[in-house]
Amino acid sequence: MVKGQRRRHQLERYRERRDFSRSTEPTGDIGGTSGNPVFVIQKHDASNLHYDLRLAVDGVLKSWAVPKGPSTDPREKRLAIATEDHPLDYADFEGVIPEGEYGAGTVLIWDRGTYENITETENGPRSMSEALAKGHALVRLCGEKIHGGYALQRIDDDADQWLLIKIDDEAADARRNPVSTEPKSVVSGCNLDEIAAREGE
Ligand code: MN
């Protein structure tokens, strides 16, 4: 039994007892309901406001800080700075990182869902870990705000700097600007101030 299967099996009783359409408790479904891996985009009000894009790959969340957040316009290239891998359950984190701690500030789950690796080579599909090692990955995101294909392209000469670019598909829409029009958490429905106030209680 592979690791993911074992975890799903272990969580059967936990799940049977809960209605996740009514409770906000974690489903433990880190692999996603469709079997696809999770992605999350966390809005992070640190010293500089940014959006952390995280994709579950081989048991960790591969992470990029995207200062302007994702665009739905294929003509917009968004800088994405690779940051350290995070644990899978970080995808559930929303709250306040205390002052003096690394990344101090409020974190809001801006979007979340599953993704599909659609990276291809001439010889067929390429694994996510290989695609990221090569500096070019194509993913199809299935979130609540963000949908469809995105390219992650490493910029030459700097291993940490990537571009996040919307693929020109049916989900591309230059008129949408979800970063500004849909600021709230997809989990709590709160904005950054409300999350900060909630923690201060
Ligand atoms: Mn961050």
Place of tokens 């952390």: 52
For residues 46 and 52, the answer to whether their CB atoms sit within 8 Å is no
Q: Is 109 helix (H, G, I), strand (E, B) or coil?
A: strand
- Identify the residue with better confidence: 13 or 100: 100
Q: Is the pLDDT of residue 31 over 50?
A: no
Task: Extract the tokens encoding 172.
Answer: 């591309």
Minimum mean pLDDT among 7-11, 101-105, 114-118: which range? Answer: 7-11
For residue 145, the CA-to-ligand 1 centroid distance in Å is 19
For residue 19, the CA-to-ligand 1 centroid distance in Å is 31
Closest CA to 4 of 26, 30, 27, 25: 30
What is the pLDDT confidence band of residue 114, given thresholds at 50, 70 and 90? Answer: very high
CB atoms within 10 A of CB 32: 18
Q: Is the pLDDT of residue 145 over 60?
A: yes
For residue 14, the CA-to-ligand 1 centroid distance in Å is 31
pLDDT tens figures, 117-134: 999 998 899 999 999 999
**pLDDT in the model for residue 190:** 96
Q: How far is Cα 94 from Cα 192, in angstroms, rounded to an integer?
A: 10
